[in-house]
Amino acid sequence: MQICAVRRSIERCADDIAFLGGPGSTDDVIQWADYLLISMPATPDTVGLIDRRRLGLMKSTAYLINVGRAEIVDEDALYETLAGRMIAGAVLDVWYRYPRAPGSTPPAARPFHELRNVLMTPHVSGWTDGMLDARARLIAENIRRVADGERPLNLVAA
């Protein structure tokens, strides 16, 4: 696999990246991509960045994966693109609508969940039964270790 990326700042490039370009290369990367990963924050510059025109640049065999923020991709355009099978599929780990009160809240105005070429996960998919307890035990153990002059578990050194 070749990795191509678009970043605001392109001052450095890892050895395993085939292409690193600035925002001006977005259309080119979208056209090349077999898997288009969206992993950016929602800002005035990124909201609606992937619109109908840009979705139309994608290969018919390509997949869009959004783990950033839903509103970066135009909701109506994405739904129509997926329903019309203009791209192979999408993985959506972010919602267009989040619950604001008790009760059921659909994740989008469009029924993405009815499309067979869409996989939806709840953006907190790493939260599993027992995860919070395990995390609390690890934190407590690391506090004990530091207090006793021991090396913490899972230490990431810079």
What pLDDT digit, counting tens, does each position of 45-88 carry? 999 999 999 999 999 999 999 999 999 999 999 999 999 999 99
Instruction: Measure Cα distances from 32 to 39, 43, 150, 152 in Å.
Output: 17, 25, 49, 43
What pLDDT digit, counting tens, does each position of 107-143 carry? 888 999 999 999 988 766 566 778 788 889 999 999 9
Is the pLDDT at 12 greater than 60? The verdict is: yes
Residue 116 CA to residue 118 CA, distance in Å, equals 6
Residue 136 CA to residue 147 CA, distance in Å, equals 17
- Yes or no: say if 106 and 97 are a contact pair by the CB < 8 Å rule: yes
Report pTM.
Answer: 0.74
